[in-house]
Amino acid sequence: MGEHPSTSQIAILKQKYTELYPQAEALVNAWDPVGLIGGGAPPDEYDCITVQLLELLDQGKNAAEIYQFILQELYDHFGMGLNTVKEENLGPYIRKHKDFSSAIVHWYEELNLTVDLD
């Protein structure tokens, strides 16, 4: 997406995606990329990722592009780059984020197919 969204930009995007946001938030929180939700963080902890994902999905980005965004966002915002992951954990780390990238694209495509059929 570019630079990290501000609090006001996040609020605007949450409003833009009012109907999709709760579902996307649930998916992102279940994925819990850096373990914050599992550690007791509030459900809006990943708002910055969720709104950007919705924007990217709305732009038609594919799973590979979503994965690249995720890697960049985790590095830029959370300091969790590939270079911070122990070698023995690198495979599962990559798989977790690739699987999520595919799953959220699939969710969005299925959602659009359902809406288009109505």
Per-residue pLDDT of 1-44, as tens digits, reads 557 788 999 899 999 999 999 999 999 999 999 999 999 999 99
The neighbour count for residue 52, using CB atoms within 10 Å, is 23
Answer whether residue 42 is part of any domain.
yes
pLDDT tens string 45-100: 999 999 999 999 999 999 999 999 999 999 998 999 899 999 999 999 999 999 99
Rounded to two decimals, the pTM is 0.88
CA distance 89 to 36: 18
At 10, is the secondary structure helix, strand, or coil?
A: helix
Q: Residue 104 is part of which domain span?
A: 7-116
Answer whether residue 50 is part of any domain.
yes
Answer whether residue 49 is part of any domain.
yes
54: tokens are: 């919705």
Answer whether residue 63 is part of any domain.
yes
The neighbour count for residue 27, using CB atoms within 10 Å, is 16
Answer whether residue 1 is part of any domain.
no
Nearby residues of 87 by Cβ (< 8 Å), 6 or more positions away: none
The CA-based angle 16-18-20, given to 5 degrees, is 105
Give the HSE-up count for residue 111: Cα atoms under 13 Å, Cβ half-sphere: 14
79: tokens are: 């300091």
Domain count, the chain: 1
